Structure formats: structure tokens, C-alpha cells
Amino acid sequence: MNTQSGTVLITGATSGIGRELLGIYHAQGFNVIAHGRSEVKLHDLKDHYPGLQTVCADLAHPASVDAMMADILRDVPRLDLVINNAAVQERGVLTDVEFSASLADREIAINLQAPIRICHAVIKAWTEQGHTGTPQRTGVWSRIVNVSSGLAFFPKTGSAIYCASKAALHSFSQSLRYQLVAADLPIAISEVFLPVVDTPMTAGREIAKIPAQQAALAIHDGILAGQNEIYVGKARLIPVVTRLSPSLMKSILRKG
């Protein structure tokens, strides 16, 4: 990626990890497109980051996602980096009488369906520009980063829909990586597996958390290293403990 002219799209950029990533790439001279669903918060970002481009869309609505990507790709046909960071987490306990199926639908739409539609839009733009397969892969020109969680492997008792959506995102990311290699398209797929991070999503939870800035820096370093799987903080233990004792990891993460 060219730090002088590269373009980065970050969803969920108005707070938490997304805002920290925005700051990192803006400071490096990238052209950053920040997504959010609050015009007020996006306006605040523009005051702090000169030259920042913003786009407002509710990722729970497929038509809004498609319109957002059409607008972006009309002006920037090739995105160098796309970070699918936006996510929501509801309690998701189906045995509760307060469980809301409509909230579950929204959670799946934002956490899973929106990244799928964004990935498709980026790939479609590439193929429409005539970037078809070649006999030998010449390297990565663009990278899509899907931000997931350790809960994709080992779900907790609460937030069942969130855990399921992240597990599905992990499976989708793997399959898409295979497809891009088979098509010889110069687009790479990275996945980020996070521990509990101190963000608005985890506010009020009495549990050990890592700062959002620490998580963002780890994600940036993993992207820079070209890693397909980026394990952050305690999530780095998941592959090791999984090999040694899967039942132990299930027990640890079951309670969240």
C-alpha cells in the first residue's frame, strides 16, 4: 500500500477500535474514508482529522450498504485497504422473555451480511475494471480485513447471535480467501481475532479489557506484516490452547 496515495475504508470509525485505526492511517498520510451512522459524530471526526472523507450509512439495511459502496467506488475505483470493523453485540439469550428477534436480525445484518456485501462490491469493482486472473499471482494490491473475535471459535453463554455471526464471518473469510486465490485476483483477506476490548460495546462489563488503541496498533502491525490471521492480546493463546486442550478453552470462554 502506498502511504502517499493509498485509500482506506474503515467501518464503525466514530468510536473504539475504528476511531483508533482512523487516527493511525490518517497520521501516515492515507486517504481515509470513515464510515459511521451518526452525522453528528462524523462531523466531529472532520474537525479532528483534516481532509478526512466520511460516509454515513446504517449497515443494518442492505440497500444502504450497497448505496454506500456504489458512492465510494464511483470516486475511488480501487480501495487499497478495507477494514470491516463495525459490529453490534446484544445479550442474545433466547430463553429470556425479553429476547428480540428483530434485534437479532439487525445484529446478523451488521456483523455478517454487511461485510459480505462490502467484500462483494470491492471484488466486483476489480473485475469490472478488467482485472481478471493471470497465469501467475503478481502480489497483493488490496486487502480486506474482517474484524472478528475469539468467540468465533468458542462461544459464550450470552450473546449467542453475536458469537454465531462472528463464527460465520470466520468461515466466510476463509472461503473467500480460497476463491480469490483460485481467481488469481490481487486481493488478500485478513481476519482479526480480538479479546475483550475497552470500547462502547463492552461498557459496564466488569472484566479485564485491553485499550482500544492497543488493539488498533496490533491490527495495524498484522496488516503491515501481511498476516491472514491476526490474533490480538490474549486471543493469541487460542491456537495454542486449542491444540493442547480444546475443552479448557471452551470452559474459559463459556462465561465470557
Q: Is residue 225 part of a domain?
A: yes
Model confidence, pTM: 0.89
Number of domains the chain contains: 1
**239 neighbors 227 (Cβ within 8 angstroms):** no
**CATH code of 20's domain:** 3.40.50.720
Domain residues for the domain of 95 are 7-254
Q: Does residue 173 carry a pLDDT above 50? A: yes
Q: Is residue 188 part of a domain?
A: yes
pLDDT band at 38 (very low <50, low <70, confident <90, very high): very high
Distance in angstroms (rounded) separating the CA atoms of residues 36 and 133: 34
Residue 2, burial from CB neighbour count under 10 angstroms (0-12, 13-18, 19+): exposed
Question: Which residues are paired to 230 by β-bridges?
Answer: 192
Please say whether the dihedral angle defined by the alpha carbons of residues 91, 95, 100 and 105, taken in this order, is positive or negative.
positive
Q: Is residue 207 part of a domain?
A: yes
Report the amino acid identity of residue 10: I
Residue 233 Ramachandran class (φ > 0 left, ψ -120 to 50 alpha, else beta): left
pLDDT per position as a tens digit, 7-18: 999 999 999 999
Q: Is residue 30 part of a domain?
A: yes
Q: Is residue 2 part of a domain?
A: no
Confidence at residue 248, expressed as pLDDT on a 0 to 100 scale: 61
Q: Is residue 116 part of a domain?
A: yes
Q: Is residue 171 part of a domain?
A: yes
Q: Is residue 1 part of a domain?
A: no
Q: Which residues contact 27 (CB under 8 A, 6 or more apart)?
A: none
